[in-house]
């Protein structure tokens, strides 16, 4: 397959280069495995206690707050609802529909109006 002397020379050079690089790197690798770098010892571990903000608060009181607590705290916090940008009535209705249709929120049908009233009024009060 290899006919020209130039190709043969090239192959010999390649083999030599590979052998040389192996000869150089192998002892280095063995040395690294025998002498792992020293770990720092000038530190101490200690525990800290922190208080996270509570995320279990019910909805702020107001007309419909009980309906919100009954229907909207099963899967996420009130803050998920309270910290939304200002939304229109139609957008809030779309979100409630999404909770029911997509996320399967078991909404109590009689609570729906109170929920929508709450959602469309709590941002006006801000
Ligand atoms: C069955 C579970 C479930 C219930 C009950 C539920 N949600 Fe959600 N809600 C979700 C999930 C899942 C998300 C998406 C969370 C995420 O994106 O990380 C979400 C997100 C939201 C968001 C963020 C904006 C958005 O569109 O994703 C709002 C606002 C919201 N819910 C409002 C409500 C309201 C109001 C109620 C009560 C009527 C309610 N949720 C009840 C599951 C639920």
Does 19 sit in the ligand 1 pocket, CB within 6 Å?
no
pLDDT of residue 89: 95
Burial bucket for residue 73 (CB in 10 Å: 0-12, 13-18, 19+): middle
- 124 pLDDT exceeds 80? no
pLDDT of residue 87: 95
Residue nearest to atom 28 of ligand 1 (CA): 81
pLDDT tier at 47, thresholds 50, 70, 90: very high
Does 74 sit in the ligand 1 pocket, CB within 6 Å?
yes
pLDDT tier at 28, thresholds 50, 70, 90: confident
pLDDT of residue 125: 60
For the entire predicted model, the pTM comes to 0.69
- 30 pLDDT exceeds 80? no
Taking residues 45-67, report their average pLDDT.
92
- Gap between the Cα atoms of 70 and 115, Å rounded: 10
pLDDT of residue 1: 58
Burial bucket for residue 111 (CB in 10 Å: 0-12, 13-18, 19+): middle
pLDDT tier at 118, thresholds 50, 70, 90: very high
pLDDT of residue 2: 55
Please give the number of the atom of ligand 1 that sits closest to the Cα of 104.
1
Homologous superfamily (CATH) of 65-122 is Cytochrome c-like domain (1.10.760.10)
For residue 42, report the distance from its CA to the centre of ligand 1, in Å: 48
Does 84 sit in the ligand 1 pocket, CB within 6 Å?
yes
Domain ranges of the chain: 1-35, 65-122
Percent of the chain having pLDDT more than 70? 96
For residue 50, report the distance from its CA to the centre of ligand 1, in Å: 28
Cα 107 to the center of its chain, rounded Å = 28
């Amino acid at each position: 397959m290899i006919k020209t002397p130039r190709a043969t020379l090239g192959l010999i050079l390649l083999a030599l280069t590979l052998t040389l690089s192996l000869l150089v790197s192998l002892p280095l690798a063995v040395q690294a495995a025998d002498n792992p770098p020293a770990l720092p010892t000038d530190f101490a571990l200690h525990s800290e206690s922190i208080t996270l903000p509570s995320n279990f608060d019910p909805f702020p009181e107001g007309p419909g707050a009980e309906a919100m607590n009954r229907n909207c705290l099963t899967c996420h916090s009130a803050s998920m609802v309270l910290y939304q940008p200002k939304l229109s009535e139609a957008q809030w209705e779309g979100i409630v529909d999404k909770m029911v249709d997509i996320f399967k929120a078991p909404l109590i049908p009689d609570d729906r109006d109170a929920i929508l009233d709450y959602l469309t009024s709590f941002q006006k009060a801000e």
